[in-house]
Amino acid sequence: MTPVVATVGTTHPLAFAGLAHALLVLAAEGVRPVCVIAGVSAQDAAHVLARCDVDPATIAAQFAALHSAQVRAFHVGALLSADAVRAVVRGLADVSMPVVVDPVLTATGGDALADGAARDALLAELIPRATLLTPNLDEAAALLCRPVDDVPAMREAARALHALGARAVLVKGGHLAGDAVDVLADGDGVHELHGPRLDGFVRGSGDVLAATAAAALARGLGLRAAVEHARARVRTALADAVPFADTRVRPIGP
C-alpha cells in the first residue's frame, strides 16, 4: 500500500515553495500526498503581497477529515500566526507518526510570513512535537535570538533546539561559504554532515528537504537514513534547477 503523507502549511501561488510545492515533492517521492491548509499567501518571485491564516476551527476540521486516510507521516511548513500554530499542535495531539517541521518564518525575499507570537508558539508548542526540525541558518538564529553564522554556532544551535524537545534537529548550512555542512543533533549527540557544494541557488529547497524526509520516514526509513536521502534530493534539485518566474526552481518529477 502506498504510504500517505500529509503536508500542513501555507499556499504559494507560484508553487515553488509552500503547500503546492510540497505536494509535488511528495508525489515525486512515490507517496500519496494529502494536505491541511493553515494559511494563504500571495507571493511573487520577490515579495509577499498578502497573507492570512485559516481559522482554527477550519484547520481542526481538515485534520478530522484525514482520520480515515491512514497518514504515515506529517510535514509542517509555514504557519502564519500563533493561533494557526496552536491549531496544528491540537491536530497533531493524538498522532504517533513522524512529524517533520520546517520552521519557515520569512519568505526567501526577506518579507515576514510569521510574527513574534507565532515564533513563540513554535518554540513552546510545536518544536517539542517534532520528530525532525529543519531550520536554515536564518531560522535557527531567529528562533534562538542569536547569530548562527558558522559551524560551531550551528552545533550550539542544534543542541539548543534539540533540548526544547525535538527528537532530532538538522541545522542547514547551505548559505555558508566553503564546504557544504549541515549539523544534526539527535539522541546520539551532534554530527556534522558534509557533502559537495554545488554552485547556484534554487527556491523551495527547504520544502524539498523537509517533505522528502517526511516521505522517507513514512516509507519506514530510519531518521538518519531519511535525512541523508533528503540531503541528496536537495543536491539533485540544485543540479537540475531551471529558470522560472525570475528565479530558479527544480522541475519536480520522478
pLDDT for 108:
74
Average pLDDT, the chain: 91
Beta bridge partners of 181: 194
pLDDT for 245:
47
For the chain of 254 residues, list the mean pLDDT of each consecutive stretch of 10. 97 91 94 98 90 97 96 98 98 96 88 92 98 97 95 97 98 82 96 79 82 98 97 83 53 53
Q: For residues 22 and 159, give the distance between their C-alpha atoms in angstroms, rounded to a whole number.
A: 27
3-state secondary structure of 133: strand
| Alpha carbon separation from 188 to 50, 97, 167 (Å, rounded) | 42, 21, 11
Do residues 41 and 10 touch, judged by C-beta distance below 8 A? Answer: yes
Domain borders along the chain are 4-240
pLDDT for 114:
92
Torsion angle in degrees (nearest 10) through CA of 30, 34, 37, 40: 40
Q: For residues 83 and 60, give the distance between their C-alpha atoms in angstroms, rounded to a whole number.
A: 12
pLDDT for 244:
46
pTM over 0.85: yes
Q: Grid coordinates representing 198?
A: 554545488
pLDDT for 71:
98
Q: Which CATH number describes the domain made up of 4-240?
A: 3.40.1190.20
Q: For residues 185 and 58, give the distance between their C-alpha atoms in angstroms, rounded to a whole number.
A: 35
Do the strands 180-186 and 169-171 form a parallel or antiparallel pair, or are they unpaired?
antiparallel
